[in-house]
């Protein structure tokens, strides 16, 4: 995850810093919009992967707390997630879990309703 964040920092450097002279300084407008859009798209893809990694990590951390429970909303979200991605109990390649987590986050409204009343313990 740290390397993805580092890459995003590099990608967020303004595209215009890599502009070159193309008309000897006369009316020398070099649009870097296509490059900037490509970089922005890559940042969004990286962010999606980062959020999935964070979600996987949080879900695994909550499983270590069992039998203690979290909020009803998070328990419902975790139950739906665990139908797709099982708890990590033994070593396994996590790329499939990462892809499944990204798909889960794309398909599900993760944030609760803004009008939801959260009860304090």
pLDDT of residue 57: 97
Q: What CA–CA distance (Å, rounded) separates 74 from 53?
A: 17
What is the per-residue pLDDT for 81? 96
Nearest Cα to Cα of residue 66 among 78, 56, 55 = 78
CB 11 within 8 A of CB 42: yes
pLDDT of residue 111: 67
Share of the chain above pLDDT 70, in %: 83
CA distances (Å), 79 to each of 4, 5, 21, 86, in order? 28, 29, 57, 10
Position of tokens 């797709």? 84
Instruction: Note the pLDDT tens digit of each residue in 21-75.
Output: 777 766 666 678 888 899 999 999 999 999 999 999 999 999 999 999 999 989 9
Predicted TM-score of the model (pTM): 0.76
């Amino acid at each position: 995850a740290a390397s993805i964040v580092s890459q995003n920092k590099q990608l967020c450097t303004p595209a215009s810093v890599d502009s070159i002279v193309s008309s000897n300084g006369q009316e020398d407008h070099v649009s870097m919009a296509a490059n900037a859009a490509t970089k922005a798209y890559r940042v969004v893809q990286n962010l999606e992967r980062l959020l999935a990694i964070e979600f996987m990590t949080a879900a695994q951390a909550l499983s270590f707390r069992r039998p203690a429970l979290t909020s009803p909303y998070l328990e419902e979200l975790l139950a739906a997630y665990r139908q797709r991605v099982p708890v990590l109990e033994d070593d396994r390649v996590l790329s499939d879990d990462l892809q499944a987590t990204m798909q889960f986050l794309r398909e599900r409204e993760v944030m609760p309703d803004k009008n939801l009343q959260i009860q304090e313990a």
